[in-house]
């Protein structure tokens, strides 16, 4: 084993390492189980590297500090869990409206509310997409391994900078506290903001374009507001066409690039009659279940979503046209099953478990046998 590049890490440690490899220079947060290790590590590491770490009074202040730091030119992030994410939603909407790149690692636990602090859940999928009011379109990634805690946290910075949006890493307690080996990549190339003080920072000629983003201190006169604004940042709170154009672009700059953003992984799907559609830690159970079913002669496959938002509809639609059934095991009451039903061409069966425990492979295999019977 290459002692430098290949290491054993806990998922939360890997997320912190991925952030540092991506050039994260600012972290503001409030500690919460099961995400706290990320904060603990960055509290030690960032000041050593000339970065800034601040423990804020709560999660609303945390996301607000992250947004401000991003406008000062920092690659900024926070990490939290469900209860903290709920508080951050005001800031998430503000980041979307002001087109502020930021990364939010959400290590999900069993909710609602305080729920079970140390137990696993996946109840934040729809909240990440629709948690703040109005129409906007964040990006969300779903790691299933310690390797992906590292890779996808780094990718979240790249996507945040590229599209000027908040990007969620929707992890869970399972991957956050899992220890396994991963390969480190040293420094990771991240999209650089275009900093053009002569160009409008909130508009482009293209209805799905991403405008350049100057930083405070670059010399431009800069206004940043969560109210409706024109391409130069002037408030236009009573102009229907300005509002419509802005909201349209805020959504299309992400949705029109779904093919570039969305990633998924198909395993054993070529001749499959039943495909398990899974994400996050549950996809690890699903993979074991699919192999078990194959060993029994059942033609099962796995569609594993690495990107949850924008939802990879085309992948689900295409694959569901070739199989008899989709089975969606989830540690929530069917949040992704709901999305799959809206775009699938075959019946979609759910398997929900909301007891704070991991869904065991055998439970998925058993449900698959029921569906096929």
Partner 1 sequence: MDAQKVQVRFGGLGGQGLVTLGAVLAEAAARSGMRVAASQQYGSRARGGATRADVILAREEIDFPHIHRADVLLVLAQEAYELYLPSVTEAGLVLADPFFVKLAERGGRKQLLVPATATAIEKVGKQVAANFVLLGALLGYTELVPDEAVRAAIAKLVNPRFQAINLEACSLGAGLGRALAEEVGPWR
Name the segment binding partner 1 (CB under 8 A); options: 42-50, 100-108, 149-157, 172-180. Answer: 172-180
Name the segment binding partner 1 (CB under 8 A); options: 157-165, 186-194, 221-229, 281-289. Answer: 281-289
**Which of 55, 134, 181, 342 contacts partner 1 by CB under 8 A?**
181
> Alpha-carbon distance 79 to 159, whole Å?
17
Our measurement of the distance from residue 75's CA atom to the centroid of its chain's CA atoms, rounded to an integer in Å, reads 16
Integer Rg of the chain from CA:
21
Position 208 contacts partner 1 (CB under 8 A): no
Name the segment binding partner 1 (CB under 8 A); options: 59-67, 173-181, 200-208, 332-340. Answer: 173-181
> Least CB distance from residue 81 to partner 1, whole Å?
13
Q: Which of 50, 94, 111 is nearest to 75 (CA)?
A: 50
Residue 131 or 356: the one with the smaller Cβ distance to partner 1 is: 356
Position 252 contacts partner 1 (CB under 8 A): no
Contacts of 322 (CB under 8 A, 6+ apart): 269, 272
Longest Cα–Cα distance of the chain, Å, equals: 68
> Least CB distance from residue 123 to partner 1, whole Å?
18
**Which of 165, 178, 224, 246 contacts partner 1 by CB under 8 A?**
178
Position 109 contacts partner 1 (CB under 8 A): no
CA distances from 269 to 46, 247, 303, 307 (A): 43, 38, 8, 19
Joined together, the tokens standing for residue 192 give 């650089």
Our measurement of the distance from residue 232's CA atom to the centroid of its chain's CA atoms, rounded to an integer in Å, reads 29
Position 180 contacts partner 1 (CB under 8 A): yes
- Name the DSSP class of 235: B
| 203 neighbors 211 (Cβ within 8 angstroms) | yes
Contacts of 24 (CB under 8 A, 6+ apart): 42, 46, 51, 75, 76, 77, 103, 157
Position 287 contacts partner 1 (CB under 8 A): yes
Position 177 contacts partner 1 (CB under 8 A): yes
Residue 3 or 373: the one with the smaller Cβ distance to partner 1 is: 3
What is the sign, positive or negative, of the torsion defined by CA atoms of 306, 256, 156, 3?
positive
| 307 neighbors 264 (Cβ within 8 angstroms) | yes
Residue 260 or 355: the one with the smaller Cβ distance to partner 1 is: 355
Position 5 contacts partner 1 (CB under 8 A): no
Residue 193 or 284: the one with the smaller Cβ distance to partner 1 is: 284
Residue 22 or 358: the one with the smaller Cβ distance to partner 1 is: 358
Position 265 contacts partner 1 (CB under 8 A): no
- Count residues contacting partner 1 (CB under 8 A)? 21
**Residue 296 class from Cβ within 10 Å (0-12 exposed, 13-18 middle, 19+ buried)?**
exposed
- Binding-site ranges for partner 1 (CB under 8 A): 1, 8, 10, 33, 117-118, 174, 177-181, 284-285, 287-288, 291, 358, 360-362
């Amino acid at each position: 084993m290459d002692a430098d590049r290949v290491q054993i890490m806990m998922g939360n440690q890997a997320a912190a390492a991925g952030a540092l490899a991506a050039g994260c220079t600012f972290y503001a947060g409030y500690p919460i189980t099961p995400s706290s290790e990320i904060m603990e590590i960055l509290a030690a590491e960032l000041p050593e590297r000339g970065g800034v770490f601040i423990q804020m009074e709560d999660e609303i202040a945390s996301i607000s500090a992250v947004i401000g730091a991003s406008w000062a030119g920092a690659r900024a992030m926070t990490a939290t869990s469900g209860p903290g994410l709920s508080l951050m939603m005001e800031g998430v909407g503000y980041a979307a409206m002001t087109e502020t790149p930021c990364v939010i690692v959400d290590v999900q636990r069993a909710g609602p509310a305080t729920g079970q602090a140390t137990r696993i859940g996946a109840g934040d999928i729809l909240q990440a997409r629709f948690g703040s009011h109005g129409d906007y379109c964040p990006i969300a990634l779903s790691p299933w391994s310690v390797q992906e805690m590292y890779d996808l946290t780094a990718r979240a910075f790249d996507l945040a900078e590229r599209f000027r949006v908040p990007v969620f890493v929707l992890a869970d307690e399972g991957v956050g506290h899992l220890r396994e080996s991963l390969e480190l990549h040293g420094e990771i190339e991240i999209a650089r903001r275009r900093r053009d003080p002569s160009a409008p920072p909130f508009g482009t000629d293209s209805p799905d374009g991403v405008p350049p983003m100057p930083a405070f201190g670059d010399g431009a006169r800069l206004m940043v507001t969560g109210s409706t604004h024109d391409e130069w940042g002037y408030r236009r709170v009573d102009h229907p066409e300005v509002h419509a154009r802005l909201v349209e672009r805020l959504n299309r700059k992400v949705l029109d690039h779904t093919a570039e953003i969305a990633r998924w992984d198909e395993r054993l799907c070529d001749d499959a009659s039943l495909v398990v559609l899974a994400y996050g830690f549950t996809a690890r159970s699903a993979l074991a279940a699919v192999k078990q079913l194959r060993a029994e002669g059942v033609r099962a496959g796995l569609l594993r979503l690495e990107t949850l938002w924008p939802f990879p509809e085309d992948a689900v639609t295409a694959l569901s046209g070739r199989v008899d059934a989709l089975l969606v095991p989830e540690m929530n009451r069917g949040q992704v099953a709901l999305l799959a039903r809206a775009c699938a061409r075959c019946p979609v069966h759910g398997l929900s478990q909301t007891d704070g425990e991991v869904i065991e492979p055998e439970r998925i295999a058993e449900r698959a046998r029921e569906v096929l019977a």
